[in-house]
A and B are shown apart, each in its own frame.
Chain A
Amino acid sequence: MNAPALNPGRLAALGRSELTLLVRNRGALTVALLMPLLMVFVLRSTLSGVDGVGGEGRASLGEATLTGGIGMVLVLVVYMSLVSAYVARREELVLKRLRTGEARDLEILAGTALPAAVLAVGQVLVLAVAGAAALDARMPREPLLLAAAVLAAVVLLAGASALTSSFTRNVESAGITTLPLFLVTALGSGLFLPPESLPGQLATVCELLPLSGVMTLVRAGWTGGAETGDLLWAGLTTLAWIMITVFAVRTWFRWEPRR
């Protein structure tokens, strides 16, 4: 993991075999494709019960559902499925075997993450276009900001997956080890509840959670008109979390099973 330069050919080779494996793993494929859909419905029914969201009309409810849905897609598709993938490859000694070859460490990690990342971005696009039409929401006001937020989230979550895999003994226990980040994000980073609805001090703490910055950027990208100070703060928080994650992965990532 020296220079960040990645070899596209090697990434493609690793990504392609990982995609084949994802398609052949029915459980992982279900999590990646059906869970987000399910969660968007859950989100919508939860949000419609919250005061102050439904009040401003269907468009606002639709936007809250869609931005929360984007967060959900990212967490489920990138984080949850990738932790299983890293653990499975480690336990099969695939990671160790790959390290005997020419691929660099970062290429191995990124190549393995590629299908999940592409799938997540694809689902975000579907949500943005089809979802907006179906839910009577306006289209994203600042698509570039939204895109940047999604990409930052993919990088952060891929790193978090690698880190979580180091503390996950086998594929079965991934369901438990991924829960903390999932719950903290769902409840604290504004997926189910709009952050404004939290009491003052709790809201300040929640702003510092790993995915809060990303979610602020996603919402700002969709609705537009956010204050520059808020955006800057959200961007810096996200960057800080990415740096912490990269450091943690370099320190603690396990390439081999514990024997």
Chain B
Amino acid sequence: MTDSDHRTVIRAEGLRRGYAGGFEAVRGVSFSVERGEVFALLGTNGAGKTSTVELLEGLAAPSGGQVRIFGLDPYRQRARVRPRTGVMLQEGGFPSDLSVAETVGMWGGVTSGARPAAEVLELVGLAARSSVRVKQLSGGERRRLDLALALLGRPEVLFLDEPTTGMDPEGRRDTWALVRELRAQGTTVLLTTHYLEEAEELADRLAILHEGELVLTGTPAEVTGARPARIRFTLPQGVPAARLPLALCAAAEGQRVEIRTERLQADLGTLLRWAGESGIELAGLDARAASLEEAFLEIAENRRGPAGRTGPMAGAR
């Protein structure tokens, strides 16, 4: 009732999902998505993205908390929610012996107000492949077909679970363009991805999921803006890191130096002036503002185990 006329179309409150055997994949996730927003759920493999999305799609009931789509329960009020949502699962779900056109035709038969098959295949760039059997499609083409089915009923809310996994770069660009176009038409999109670039390109807001919990929510700018920028370089032999200006908060490993800073421009200026005056060459100099990738990796690493940072070699004994 409260959400139905409201701008909030997806609301998750304290969502939990436990599986047989005691494993809890989703541990108290709360967020909401406004009408017309593109919201990205990020996380490493096993973070709980798909488990969360399946609850939003109404494929399963949460073991705790609640989901509301248009103010309705997508699991119990399935018949009222489904005509307004479009879903793309992480893995297709088409009979391999049907052709592309037959698959879309079948899906059209179970979808109210379906677009014509030709129109939707044109949208996703599969028009030329309509008589091909599903089993002969490439991984990327299957994702396009899946997207076509999700779009068939002109949904108000679109759930895309890793929509571009397995696509070539062109397919990925096409899909991004399509998502932007849908957003421009007012469609609300919730997507999961482990491509940070994808979230940065598409999302109005994003949330990072780690081990079943949301660890960060915000716009891409907020998420990256809160992180320090980074300067990296290698000092020549015989120049110890101790000679660097004290104002720079530098961490050195042998001759390799990393500086983390909230004031990238000022610190970079200090560094370059010092290097110029001392006649020192900074090999492999690299300065960059924080990217979503760094924010993401930092969260993934800091949260892993009580020891904090765990390098990639930690698994080797």
The residues of A with any CB-CB pair to B shorter than 8 Å are 9-10, 12-14, 16-17, 20-21, 24-25, 88-89, 92-104, 107
Contacts and interface: CB of A to CB of B under 8 A. Distances in A.
B106 A16 contact: yes
Top 10 A-B pairs, shortest CB-CB distance = A13-B109, A97-B93, A93-B93, A100-B87, A17-B106, A103-B110, A102-B82, A10-B110, A24-B97, A94-B93
Nearest to A104: B79
A101 B98 contact: no
Contacts of B102: 17, 20
Contacts of A97: 89, 92-94, 149
Contacts of A16: 106, 109
Contact of A92 (B82, B93, B105): B93
Given A17-B102, A20-B98, A98 B93 contact: yes
Nearest to A25: B97
B63 interface: no
Nearest to A101: B110
Given A9-B109, A94-B93, A97-B149, 6 more contacts: A12-B109, A14-B109, A21-B95, A94-B95, A96-B89, A97-B89
Q: Among the interface residues B83, B105, B107, which one has the most CB atoms of the partner chain A within 10 A?
A: B107
B91 interface: yes
Given A100-B59, A101-B111, A93 B95 contact: no
Contacts of A92: 93-96
Question: From DSSP, what is the main secondary structure of chain A's interface residues?
Answer: helix
Given A93-B93, A96-B59, A21 B110 contact: no
B109 A93 contact: no
A89 B95 contact: yes
Given A20-B102, A93-B89, A96-B89, A102 B94 contact: no
A205 to B, nearest CB: 36
B61 to A, nearest CB: 13
Nearest to B84: A102
A253 to B, nearest CB: 14
Contacts of A104: 78-79
B32 to A, nearest CB: 21
A259 B219 CA distance: 35
Interface size band for B? 20 to 34
B125 interface: no
B141 interface: no
A102 B111 contact: yes
Interface string B198-209: 000000000000
Interface string B109-145: 1111000000000000000000000000000000000
Interface of B: 57, 59, 78-79, 82-83, 87, 89, 91-98, 102-103, 105-112, 149, 153
Contact of B97 (A10, A21, A98, A99): A21
A12 B108 CA distance: 11
Contact of B110 (A14, A88, A89, A96): A14
Contact of A13 (B78, B82, B87, B108): B108
A60 B230 CA distance: 93
B106 A13 contact: yes
A17 B82 contact: no
Nearest to B133: A24
Contacts of A89: 95
14 contacts: A13-B109, A17-B98, A17-B106, A92-B93, A93-B89, A93-B93, A96-B59, A97-B92, A98-B93, A100-B59, A100-B82, A101-B107, A102-B83, A104-B79
A212 to B, nearest CB: 35
Contacts of B110: 10, 13-14, 98, 101-103, 107
A25 B95 CA distance: 12
A85 B93 CA distance: 14
Contacts of B78: 104
A209 to B, nearest CB: 33
B84 to A, nearest CB: 10
Nearest to A97: B93
B250 to A, nearest CB: 48
Nearest to A23: B97
A94 B94 contact: yes
B92 to A, nearest CB: 7
B83 to A, nearest CB: 6
Nearest to A105: B78
Contacts of B112: 102
A104 B83 CA distance: 12
Interface-centre pick from B105, B110, B112 (highest chain A CB count, 10 A) = B110
